[in-house]
Structure 1
Amino acid sequence: MNRFDRFLAIDWSGAMGERQRGIQIAYLDSQSDTGPVLLRLPDAKNWGRVVIKNLLSKLARADQRTLVGMDFCFSVPWPDEGPLPENRQQVESVEELWALVESICSGDAHYYAGPAIRNLSSDFAPYILCDRYRGPEFRFDRFRETERQLSPKPASIYHCMGAKQVGPGSFAGMRMFHTLRSVNDPRIAIWPFDPIDNANVVLCEIYPSLFYQMAGMKRAYDRATIANTLAYFHSGSPPEMSIQDEADAVISAAALRALSYNPDLFSYPPKVPVAHKEGWIFGVLPS
């Protein structure tokens, strides 16, 4: 028996502005025999980060339990000496990290996190992986433990410019998490930082490329790739899609439902001490 009634996969974006084409959401019911459905807004506009926050709050008030996968890093690498540059005051918890990101970026609307990665005076600047600010103090090997378990490893959260950038979306997501924390709604749990048994909405970090890899496929959005990957996760036919972000959301929704039957995926990662600060990618079992 699955502990969730429905599954949402959100392909995220850190782009500037109120709405982002890169944000795509796929939905799948626990009992559905059909494939995931792409969710659209009634006004036909793109999703936005504030709209997503409001959607999560609405889901928390519903009777059904929802597992929500979000495609961004929930935290940063957290060595013993602390996650920030050695000459900065360290944060002691992930909630303090989210609050710090919010304090740096609070002047920007729509949870945009540009100041956290572009301002050289910010606490993150010495670890940003980008050509513009490259220097001897920059670190190219800063990965969280959950990322070290994957091969090939995902891009680091400190990769903040150019192709495959991860930082902008992740820090934007942390701003949204800070808002959710400030509301103090026990019906919303952010895994693995919170207990999930009594939450109506459980937010977990996803990495769509991992799900393609599980199915023996390379990440792509051609119909054969999507159909074969959905079949691996015992899901139905794919909807019509035109961009990779849509495909990633669809595949992730199917994977969330299939993998959520495995209790080890929820119970084991929180036992990894650093996961309480770094977070964990859903679907990764420590080796």
Structure 2
Amino acid sequence: MRHFERFACIDWSGATGAFQPGIAVAVCERGGPPALVQSQGQHWSREEVLHWLPEQGDCLIGFDFSASLPFVDAHAFFPGWSESPPDARTLWALVDRIASDEPNLGANRFVDHPEASRYFRRHGGRTGDRFGHGIGRMRVIESAARTAGVTPTSSFNLVGASQVGKASLTAMRLLHQLGGRVPVWPFDPVPESGPLMVELYTSLAARAAGVPKGRSKLRDAQSLDAALAALGDPPHAALARYDDHITDAMIGAAWLRRAAGNEALWHPTALTPSLARTEGWTFGLS
């Protein structure tokens, strides 16, 4: 099993704009608490994260977004559309190509595309005729996550505070533009050295840190230290400010360091080669 020297967690954002208060980056070494990584400016941009990732050396990096869309339920990402990709990497390329003239790795051009928009629920009561019913289509791992106390939403739903679709689509542009410089599990094999990215749920990390469901948004030093202590970490160095993006990233990095040594999490029984090419998997769920 691969051993890493450093562990990082990135709380991602799909909001419009060049700089994102919702992006937070935390890193921890093998011994010691996680530390917040400051951006070059007041806030991180998605492009700054894109350039930061390949420089991280022997680091396991967790991202709180969905790296793909549902495929298994309909045998396609976009059933009925001739451009529907056969696998996740081609999906990332499609999203990036259609949104290529949008700055800041934005993905609004993609969800407003005449064909792509038919599969999404958007603001203003605009539900595409191919969105489906109820909460929307789910990946295999998203359906399974509900038994683990996590309640993911469909990435085809772009409405509501809990939606992750916009963040996931902007992340697909980032993944495509990385061009393989940072492998992404399970779409890529685990490399012998260098950085590796995995998808994770910061809410799952919060549960492991003893944070009760429904109260996972920590915004103060005392609560953060209590969560880190539950993961076996010492207190963190005091920060100038606290918000739930920062604490999510720091708890996520500490949890990832502990979870990375669990062999079973790298080999989920339900993760087939087909799933690994199309929908992917969320690290931490077996």
Same-fold call, TM cutoff 0.5? yes
Sequence identity, in percent?
30
**Is the aligned partner of 1:58 residue 2:52?**
no
AA partner of residue 148 (structure 1): S
Q: Given the superposition, is the C-alpha separation of residues 126 and 49 from structure 1 closer, same or farther in structure 2, using an over 3 Å criterion?
A: same
Q: Distance in 1 between matches of 2:65 and 2:21?
A: 16
Decide which moves more: 122-131 or 85-94: 122-131
Say how many residue pairs are matched.
273
Alignment-derived partner of residue 232 in structure 1: 230
Q: Distance in 2 between matches of 1:53 and 1:278?
A: 22
- Report the Cα offset of residue 129 of structure 1: 5.9
Q: Which deviations, in whole Å up to 9, do the C-alpha atoms of 1:41-70 show, x marking residues without a partner?
A: 3x44211111111111222xx4xx100011
1:237-252 correspondence runs (5 A):
237-238=235-236, 239-240=238-239, 241-252=241-252
Q: Distance in 2 between matches of 1:66 and 1:205?
A: 14
**Is the aligned partner of 1:134 residue 2:127?**
yes
Contact 2:142 2:152 in 1 (8 A): yes
1:45-194 correspondence runs (5 A):
45-59=42-56, 62=57, 65-79=58-72, 80-117=74-111, 119=112, 121-128=114-121, 130=123, 132-134=125-127, 137-139=130-132, 140-151=135-146, 152-181=150-179, 184-185=180-181, 188-194=182-188
Q: Distance in 2 between matches of 1:268 and 1:217?
A: 25
SS in 2 for 1:7: strand
Contact 2:198 2:282 in 1 (8 A): yes
Q: Distance in 2 between matches of 1:123 and 1:158?
A: 10
Structure 2 portions without partners, runs of 5+: none
Structure 1 length normalisation: TM-score?
A: 0.87
Contact 2:118 2:127 in 1 (8 A): no
Structure 2 length normalisation: TM-score?
A: 0.87
Q: Given the superposition, is the C-alpha separation of residues 148 and 255 from structure 1 closer, same or farther in structure 2, using an over 3 Å criterion?
A: same
- Report the Cα offset of residue 38 of structure 1: 0.7
What is the aligned-residue RMSD (CA, Å)? Answer: 2.2
Q: Distance in 2 between matches of 1:250 and 1:40?
A: 13
Q: Distance in 1 between matches of 2:222 and 2:157?
A: 31
Decide which moves more: 215-224 or 158-167: 215-224
Contact 1:36 1:236 in 2 (8 A): no
Q: Distance in 2 between matches of 1:124 and 1:3?
A: 42
**Is the aligned partner of 1:196 residue 2:190?**
yes
Structure 1 portions without partners, runs of 5+: none
